[in-house]
Amino acid sequence: MLSCGKDHQEKAAESLMGKWDIVETFYEAGNRTELGSHPDTSFTENNTGEFIEFKSESTVSFSYSVNGNSYEANEENWALEARTRKNGFTNSQAYFLFIKGDIFEVQFGDGTSDSHENASKAKILFSDNIENVGPYKSYQLTISKE
């Protein structure tokens, strides 16, 4: 018997399978203090021809650029993990994608409790300094598939 978390994780992983077009990239860099983030630079780019493709339950290929930096991989290993996140008095599922030693958060569709099932829209978020004070760079890939 599967736990709810495992069921969420399996359905989310199934949703990721296939080729996703990267339709938009948001980039931000700045300084994180104890009181919050203070961006120095932020911009959005519309992308064409960039993609991320989950080829199997363990391999992914991608090609995209953010702020002039290219990111490419072919047949790289990946894993997805569902974690419970506290939101005030309620809990929700958060999904984390592990690729090449980096951790990305995946937000499916409209963020509802079943948006991870058969998703055709998602956001992939990355930050190099998510919990500490100091300089940071982060980006968000808005992806979609047919």
pLDDT of residue 6: 57
For the chain of 146 residues, list the mean pLDDT of each consecutive stretch of 10: 62 95 95 85 86 95 93 95 87 92 93 86 92 90 94
pTM of the model: 0.87
Long-range contact pairs involving 92-97 (C-beta distance under 8 Å, separation at least 24) = 93/5, 93/8, 93/12, 95/9, 95/12, 97/16, 97/124
- Structure token digits, residue 82: 């569902």
Q: Phi, psi (5° rounding) for residue 13?
A: -65, -40
pLDDT of residue 132: 81
